[in-house]
Amino acid sequence: MSYRLNGKSVDRRTFLKGTAAAGATLAGAQILGAPAVHAESGVTLRYLGTAVNQSAEIAKKCKEDTGITIEYIPVTTDEVAKRIITQPNSFDMVDSEYFSLPNLVPSGNLIGMDAKKIKYSDKLATVITKGEVDGKKIGMQGTAPAKVFYLEGEHSKSFAKEPTEWITLIPTTYNADTLGMRPDLIGHKVEHWKALLDPELKGKTALINVPSIGIMDAAMAIESAGLMKYKDKGNQTKEEIDFTIETLIKAKKAGQFRAFWTDFNESVNLMASGEVVLQSMWSPAVTAVRSKGIKCAYPGLAEGYRGWASGFGLPRTTRGKKIDAAYEFVNWFLSGWAGAYLNRQGYYSAVLDTAKEYMKPYEWDFWMEGKPAAQDIHAPDGTLIEKAGAVRDGGSYVDRMGHVACWNSVMDQNEYMVKKWNEFIAA
């Protein structure tokens, strides 16, 4: 999932800088007619996204390899969508989540990415392009990336059912989310999502207060408790939403939840302080808790994972040289170095083969194969993540991504869902 930044001021500053630059470059490009030539070095790309992939290291390496300067505009997930709709000219490329696409594509503000210009387009992970891991179908409930992967044409406002030349977003990172927990404070193994609603943990659980994600975690728990069988958790009917929210309100009134969180850091603090022992959580938050020397587990649960994925898109306002630079950047991003960097953070990269070349075999075994670490495992910034002998929670890539049950989503009844969610918070 996305990170949320606290640094609003940074945000505004980059934004102001961004808009000024946008005005200037856009005007320049139009006057000159900007023929597309391959002289990308010296180009600056304003890269809108959540902080997930916006590492300074990646920008630095990219500059070295391609000469393209990356200027990050880090905002929250919701803010990314808002920017695409309201200010498509304030950035040159965007890293957005697939689940936002049903809201974004009809606006026409994103254009298709040309698969022919993407060097590794046939090597993109099948979990994203087809919803398959190792040739096996995985859960497609919710806004699965494969459902929204292709457009009918470059400027099309609707998704194509069959593969086309035009890709909505070129995947950057994806992962399988589960519940984070403090094994030392719970005292026993947790194997099902229903633990979130288990009275045994009364007053010690937390839920993410981002409706489109929180409702998925809630639905996983409700279905696991046998209270309801959803047709599609990620696209609930009004009746299903009513039942989900009603169940949540009952649990809330019984004092089940300690808190709700929206900010990545809040989830870390809740867990680290012991206020909460089981909650919706994102993988890097678990790593953050562990880096404080506190035990925090992120195991696979019987019902499977909630998947998410994000990818690069182009706004319709990007022109000329910048488009070429954007494609060059994407190709560089897929060529391995960046993928290895992300894999070492616990995410998954879009093209696995290229990333493998940049990872040491023991790293690959730990992160991807689910094997015990042959040596100490370090994050890209050098922080010790796991000691030798440790095994990744949930196991291998195939075990984790292969057991995705549903994806973050925007429902048909989105408006109704948000309204009911507010009722839940107010209850």
Chain positions contacting other proteins, by CB under 8 A: 78-79, 81-82, 85, 102-104, 106-107, 203, 206, 209, 211, 252, 257-262, 269, 273-275, 410, 414-415, 418-419, 421-423, 425-427
Please, what is the minimum distance in Å from the beta carbon of residue 274 to other proteins? 5
Kindly write down the DSSP assignment for every residue of 305-358, as one continuous string. EEEEEEEEEEETT--HHHHHHHHHHHHHHHTSHHHHHHHTTT-EES-HHHHHHT
φ, ψ for residue 378, nearest 5 deg: -115, 150
Residue 123: CB partners within 8 Å, gap ≥ 6? 334, 351, 353, 354
What is the sign of the dihedral through the CA atoms of 212, 213, 217 and 220? positive
Nearest distance in Å: CB 278, other proteins = 14
From the CB of 150, what's the least distance to other proteins, in Å?
A: 19
- In the complex with other proteins, the residue whose CB is nearer, 329 or 407, is 407
| CB of residue 83 to other proteins, shortest distance in Å | 11
The span from the CA of 317 to the CA of 314, in Å, is: 8
Please identify, using beta-carbon distances, which residue of 44 and 265 lies nearer to other proteins. 265
**Among 399, 411, 412, CA closest to 127:** 399
The one-character DSSP state at 296 is -
Question: Which residue, 82 or 356, is less far from other proteins as judged by CB?
Answer: 82
| Nearer residue to other proteins within complex by CB, 213 or 286 | 213
In the bound complex, what is the minimum distance in angstroms from residue 163's beta carbon to other proteins?
A: 24
Q: Find the shortest distance in angstroms from Cβ 275 to other proteins.
A: 5
> Which residue number, 258 or 344, has a Cβ lying nearer to other proteins?
258
CA distance 45 to 259: 39
Question: Residue 419: CB partners within 8 Å, gap ≥ 6?
Answer: none
Each as own residue / partner, the long-range contacts of residues 66-70 (CB below 8 Å, 24 or more positions apart, any chain) are 66/40, 66/41, 66/328, 66/329, 66/332, 67/40, 67/41, 67/42, 67/43, 68/40, 68/41, 68/43, 68/44, 68/325, 68/328, 68/329, 68/332, 69/42, 69/43, 69/44, 69/45, 70/44, 70/45, 70/329
Q: Nearer to other proteins by C-beta: 98 or 261?
A: 261
For other proteins, give the closer residue by CB, 203 or 380.
203
Least distance between other proteins and beta carbon 373 (Å): 31
- Please name the helix (run of DSSP H) or strand (run of DSSP E) that holds residue 11, with its range, or none: helix 8-32
CA distance 60 to 52: 16
Distance (Å, whole) CA 207 – CA 279: 6
Do 284 and 386 contact (CB within 8 A), yes or no?
A: no
Q: Which is nearer to other proteins, 55 or 414 (CB)?
A: 414
- Please, which residue, 112 or 402, has the CB nearer to other proteins? 112
Instruction: Using the minimum distance from each CB to other proteins, give the nearer residue, 73 or 208.
Output: 208
CB of 105 to other proteins, least distance (A): 8
Vertex 422, ends 421 and 426: CA angle to 5°? 120
Closest approach of Cβ 212 to other proteins, in Å? 8
- The CB-of-74 to other proteins minimum distance in angstroms stands at 17
